[in-house]
Amino acid sequence: MTENSPVPGTAPLPTTLPPTTLPPSEPPSEPSPSISTTTPLPISSLPVREPDDDGTVGPDQTGGLLAAGFLILLLGSEGTLTLPDAAAGGPAVAAFYAQHRVAVVALQLVGIAAAAFLAGYAWRLRATDRRVAAAGLLVAGLACLPSGLTALLGIVADPADPGRADTLNQLQPRADDLLFAGVALFALAVLLRLGRSSTGAWRPLAGIAGLTLLSCIVRYVLEIAGVAGTLRDQIAPICFLLLVGWMAVLSFRGTLDVGSAAVDA
């Protein structure tokens, strides 16, 4: 037996060591499902705003833009040119409208466009309350009477024959009376139908609507009493513009809804 001969019954020693292998690393432990900050919520439980293209739920951007367009166009058409009042004589009225014929007709067309914007806003109010919408459509239609009458006056005015201009100018107060009768009806509808929240509390909208209604009543009382001036001619229009402006804000915010009194009715 030589020195290199293996000993019987024993395994030969390896000449090279096997490569050292590390135990497989354990996968990172997943976070506990009890930790809510790292657990995503299911899609069905996330709050989703309902579609608002018809103005029924959520902010009504289209309605707010229509109301804002009405205000902008109306202020632009009314504040540009001061028209003669009913107390002006026929020759002065005919001379004024003949001199400013193009401007008068153009501004009245802008006023009619403003009434169309108001009608569009009133139409969208159907999703909130149909009675308020109907009253708003009535106001939009009646608003075309003074504008149409003034535009006609600007077309037919003739200094050589002031009779027709004087007749049409005398009809202007009656057209305004019909318009503000519609405004009063609209303010009353807003007060009764939208003036209270679902809890029964009065809203700021109710105060503006009540002020608009009161200003229309005061206007008729002063007209019957023969009192003219800014108090009679300007307060009611300003209150009406404030009412529509505040309703536009509520439409943008999505908080223009039917109150508790309207729901119970």
- The model carries a pTM of 0.74
pLDDT mean over 223-237: 84
pLDDT mean over 221-226: 88
β-sheet bridge partners, residue 202? 196
DSSP state of 21: -
Query: Could you tell me the CA-to-CA distances from 129 to 38, 121, 166, 204, 207 in Å, in that order?
Result: 45, 12, 42, 18, 19
- pLDDT at position 68 is 96
- pLDDT at position 44 is 43
Query: Could you tell me the CA-to-CA distances from 229 to 6, 85, 170, 217 in Å, in that order?
Result: 132, 11, 17, 16
Cβ atoms of 130 and 77 within 8 Å: the answer is no
Res. 33: pLDDT tops 60: no
**For the chain, what is the mean pLDDT?**
81
**Higher confidence at residue 42 or residue 147?**
147
| Lowest-pLDDT range of 22-31, 144-153, 187-196 | 22-31
- pLDDT at position 57 is 45
- Quickly list H helices, 128-162: 130-156
Q: What angle do CA 246, 247, 252 make, to 5 degrees?
A: 100
**How does pLDDT run across 119-162, given as a tens digit for each residue?**
999 999 999 999 999 999 999 999 999 999 999 999 999 898 88
pLDDT mean over 104-112: 94
The pLDDT-based confidence of 51 (bands split at 50, 70, 90) is very low
**Higher confidence at residue 31 or residue 220?**
220
**How does pLDDT run across 148-160, given as a tens digit for each residue?**
999 999 999 989 8
- pLDDT at position 50 is 46
**How does pLDDT run across 53-95, given as a tens digit for each residue?**
443 446 899 999 999 999 999 998 887 788 888 888 888 999 9
Res. 102: pLDDT tops 50: yes
- pLDDT at position 187 is 97
- pLDDT at position 18 is 54
Burial of residue 189 (number of CB atoms within 10 Å: 0-12, 13-18, 19+)? buried
